[in-house]
Structure 1
């Protein structure tokens, strides 16, 4: 079924669906996604996985301004994994995104296999999806679906941010950018703070310069 036509609805009166837009390539979104899974264990929250594209954001929407040659090349390669995610969601529905993202992200980030061409086929197999979906990596067939999902977030949050993007209590926010992922009740306390931020009319930004690299422990 088309992945961009499903509206955001709470699963029940007690469980809040939290859309999180990710590009599988982004290490910071990966850490945030692992934090959100921790939140699921201690708060009435359920992750609603959605896709965005760093390549589309940086090369098309931002027109490649300010990108180094190395980063531009990385963005040109970044379409592959998100295209496979779009193909999987089209094939099996958006719930397929969670297991596939976990399978891809574990290999890209925890196992540090960014240059390994077998990552996608292994991840598809782990997620119980057809190996044929790997062909989407080099096809533009699902690009419009990716862009539609991308715009769901970035038309609200703006173009001066990246991923992760969350929608909390109807408010779309960039972040949280954190390393390592908080666990257990610490994850819940961060969630509580974000709820307070999202409910504050006119709130826009809290930020400090990152002084460490992403940690996947």
Structure 2
């Protein structure tokens, strides 16, 4: 039996690009021997000392609420709760566009918790600072691997870590595997830092 390679992914549930990347990684797991390990990070923490538009500041101030809930779920149920809860949160926030209805965010979070088989009252963590230290610790574990100039998602494979890949399509099957092979290959060079072009498409979640 082929030994699986641990792959760590840091995500903020509110980030649409992290959501697409995470769904692609799940597809990769079907065709390559990898084992995804899920970790939280926070767009709010990432940008707290940066100049950003007021509208974005308001959005990421709410974005930390689901992150806190994931931290609370991990504290109560362990690491195994993180991936399924992220799936339920992301499906609602992005596929079902609940991120456009922040007035119903608690309801969205409670539905995600229930669908993941977790207690709905973990949603109380949304407005509590009890798990903020855990959020910051996990955030810095990820971002410190790649530097403060990037964001989510962050991926680590062995001693190699990088931001991205930023993709707008969930690749599937062998296509997902080929992209994974390419990403791991190019980022394995210590002196390789950046390859980028302007985005011309929005994330697609299907």
Where does residue 4 of structure 1 map in the other structure?
none
In structure 2, the partner of 1:182 is 171
SS of residue in 2 equivalent to 1:157:
coil
Q: How does 1:65-144 map to 2 (within 5 A)?
A: 65=51, 67-114=52-99, 115=101, 116-117=104-105, 118-144=107-133
Q: Is the 8 A contact 1:24 1:82 kept in 2?
A: yes
For the pair 1:34 / 2:34, whether they are aligned, the reply is no
- Name the SS of the counterpart of 2:118 in structure 1: coil
**Is the CA contact (8 Å cut-off) linking 2:6 and 2:158 kept in structure 1?**
no
Deviations 1:65-124 (Å, cap 9, x if unpaired)?
A: 1x1110011111111000000000000001100000000000000000122331100000
Question: Could you tell me how far apart the structure 2 residues matched to 1:18 and 1:165 are?
Answer: 10
Q: In structure 1, what is the Cα distance between the partners aligned to 2:108 and 2:121? A: 14
Give the structure 2 partner of residue 195 of structure 1.
Answer: 184
Contact persistence 2:2–2:33 (CA under 8 A): no
CA distance in 2, matches of 1:95, 1:197: 30
- The correspondence of residues 137-176 of structure 1 with structure 2, limited to 5 A, is 137-176=126-165
- Indicate the structure with greater helix content: 2
Distance 1:181 1:94 in 2: 24
Q: Helix, strand or coil for the counterpart of 1:78? A: helix
Runs of 4+ in 1 over 2 A off after TM superposition: none
Task: Normalising by structure 2, report the TM-score.
Answer: 0.95
Rounded Cα–Cα distance in structure 1 between residues aligned with 2:25 and 2:191: 25
**1:208 counterpart = 2:197:** yes
Mind listing any 5+ residue stretches in structure 2 that lack a counterpart? none
Q: Choose which of 33, 44, 64 in structure 1 pairs with 2:50.
A: 64
3-state SS of 1:48 partner: strand
Alignment check: 8 A CA contact 1:169 1:199 kept: no
Structure 1: which 5+ runs fail to align?
1-11
